[in-house]
């Protein structure tokens, strides 16, 4: 087939496979026929990278696809050890909920109801397990903080806007320079005071995935930020998502 980019005057592109959409799924799909020796054209209406989270989770089957395509090595070294605790916690909670709401055995359901009548219903809480070993520093590093509502009525995530680096509170000048290089947003609002007090710090650096990189006073936080700020922009974006 021949496709012509009329909008920008691009020359015709000849390809045997066309993939519409260059998000994580489209980009992965385009690699499959490409590895089989076919010419692939990927079309997307956007010219810039999205500022919204994409591919926030992938399982073992997806990892096998990445390995087959030779892409597994491109994942950050910290991805699997950091997320292992999350995967385990959410799977365990899903299994516990399944035992409560999905049983089709009348005797099991009767025993469940009798237990609830005797002991009361258990509380199901939102999970926010700490990240495993990886790109974070200090006792607060790797935590996913609560979502406070700021003085102007917005939730903190809305104030930060998209997967961006953020500073909660204040930071010394060297850290501030690195955060500026990373395009970080500063949130200095009375609503975050309890978060900072609980962490025992004057400021917390949040990664684009909203996990805490570390407190501003920790030397390791400064070293990590300095290294990240020195990377080319495309590597910083790719590593953060």
pLDDT one-digit tens code per residue, 32-61: 888 888 999 888 888 766 656 566 666 677
pLDDT at 107 > cutoff 60: yes
d(CA 67, CA 54): 19
Contact 137, 146 (CB under 8 A): no
3-state DSSP assignment of residue 192: helix
Task: Look at the alpha carbons of 149, 152, 153, 159 in this order and tell me if their dihedral is positive or negative.
Answer: negative
Percent of the chain whose predicted confidence (pLDDT) is above 90: 28
pLDDT tens, residue by residue, 178-217: 999 888 999 999 999 999 999 999 999 999 888 999 999 9
Beta bridge partners of 169: 203
Mean pLDDT of 168-174: 91
Mean pLDDT score of the chain, rounded to an integer?
Answer: 81
Query: What is the reported pLDDT for 206?
Result: 95
Query: What is the reported pLDDT for 108?
Result: 84
Most confident of 43-52, 90-99, 101-110: 101-110
Domain spans of the chain?
A: 2-74, 79-119, 156-240
d(CA 216, CA 203): 5
């Amino acid at each position: 087939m021949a496709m012509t980019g009329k909008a920008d005057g691009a020359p015709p592109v000849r390809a045997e496979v066309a993939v519409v959409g260059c998000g994580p799924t489209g980009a992965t799909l385009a690699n499959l026929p490409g590895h089989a020796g076919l010419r692939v054209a990927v079309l997307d209406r956007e010219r810039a990278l999205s500022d919204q989270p994409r591919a926030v989770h992938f399982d073992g089957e997806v990892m096998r696809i990445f390995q087959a395509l030779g892409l597994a090595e491109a994942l950050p070294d910290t991805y699997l050890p950091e997320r292992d605790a999350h995967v385990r916690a959410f799977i365990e909670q899903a299994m516990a909920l399944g035992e409560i709401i999905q049983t089709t055995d009348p005797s099991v359901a009767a025993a469940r109801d009798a237990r609830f009548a005797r002991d009361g219903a258990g509380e199901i809480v939102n999970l926010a397990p700490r990240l495993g070993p990886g790109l974070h520093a200090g006792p607060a590093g790797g935590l996913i903080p609560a979502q406070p509502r700021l003085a102007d009525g917005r939730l903190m995530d809305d104030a930060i806007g998209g997967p961006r680096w953020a500073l909660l509170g204040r930071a010394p000048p060297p850290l501030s320079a690195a955060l500026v290089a990373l395009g970080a947003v500063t949130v200095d609002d009375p609503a975050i005071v309890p978060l900072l007090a609980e962490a025992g710090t004057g400021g917390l650096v949040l990664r684009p995935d909203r996990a805490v990189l570390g407190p501003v006073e920790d030397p390791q936080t400064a070293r990590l930020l300095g290294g990240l700020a020195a990377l080319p922009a495309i590597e910083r974006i790719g590593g953060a998502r």
